[in-house]
Amino acid sequence: MHLDTVLGKQFAPIEHLVTPRDCMLYALGIGVGDRPEDPRDLQFTYERGLKFFPSLVNVIAHPGSWIQAPELAIDWVKLLHGEQAFTMHAILEPGKTYVGTYQVLDVVDKGPGKGALLFLRKDLREKGMEAVVSTVTSTYFLRGDGGCGGTTTQAPAPHPIPDRAPDLTCTLTTLARSALIYRLSGDYNPIHADPEQARKAGFERPILHGLCSLGVATRAVLASCCNDEPERLKSLQLRFSSPVYPGETLVTDLWRDGDCVSLRSRVAERNVVVLNNGRAVVA
């Protein structure tokens, strides 16, 4: 990695007209619609009274494969998506154009052979407006870039999960075709569709997108803690700890402490934690 080049990376603003189709397709990709006649699902999947699903902010105005730029010298083949967080400052709406602006915030060097962490921030604004409507942060684990130097050597501590039985549990099943639907929202990495490419990457078959799993966890928070009212979800953060295979069942445990909700998701079929150290703030 060329550290100074990475930290000084300039991103052109990215405009995204979020059509009703974008909203409905995203919602279907994360499994909304398994209650096809229920107003709680139809609000995200039917054009009458259509609402913007909160975690859609993670995929709109996406910068594409910027991290592969040769001048950055990042060993992008060894990249893993480590953490993701989003904050809703306002209610977004279908049919409006949003502009994403990006900044590399920090790089944490874990040392030679130990990799590095890159922290990226996206601010979303409605086109023509100054106010930020959503902030999205991503943490990338760059396994091949340890020893590159960095802005700090200390990464933020993960949110601790309470040491008690969960207050609530939400079980949601993904579809065998979930990744094939979700990829139409913009992430066409072949490891989510092509069995041969998935095996080359070390997986027995195509895996579900990490941000799709995040969307499923967001559904769990909305259903369990927000009465399926999206405007009540103010923020969500979590850590990706293991891949999910399409068709698996995600069991999300939730702990309520005032307006803070801690969460952790596991795959029922393999009893493996796949999303960890989650924290949501709800109204």
> What tokens does 8 get?
């000084």
Q: Would you tell me how many other CB atoms lie within 10 Å of the CB of residue 258?
A: 7
Question: pLDDT tens, 39-62?
Answer: 999 999 999 999 999 999 999 999
Average the pLDDT over 178-205 and give the result: 94
Question: Which pLDDT belongs to residue 154?
Answer: 79
What proportion of the chain, given as a percentage, has pLDDT over 90? 91
Q: What is the value of pTM for the model shown?
A: 0.95
Catalytic residues: 187, 192, 207, 210
- CATH code, residues 3-18+60-142: 3.10.129.10
Question: Which pLDDT belongs to residue 78?
Answer: 87
> What tokens does 262 get?
């801690």
**Is 168-282 CATH 3.30.590.20?**
no
**Do residues 30 and 216 touch, judged by C-beta distance below 8 A?**
yes
Q: Do domains 3-18+60-142 and 168-282 have the same CATH topology?
A: yes
Q: Where are the domains of the chain?
A: 3-18+60-142, 168-282
> What tokens does 63 get?
């910068």
Average the pLDDT over 104-116 and give the result: 93
**Do residues 100 and 61 touch, judged by C-beta distance below 8 A?**
yes
Reported confidence tier of residue 34, pLDDT bands at 50, 70, 90: very high
The lowest-confidence range among 15-24, 144-153, 170-179, 191-200 is 144-153
Q: What average pLDDT does the chain have?
A: 96
Kindly tell me if the per-residue pLDDT of 152 is higher than 80: no
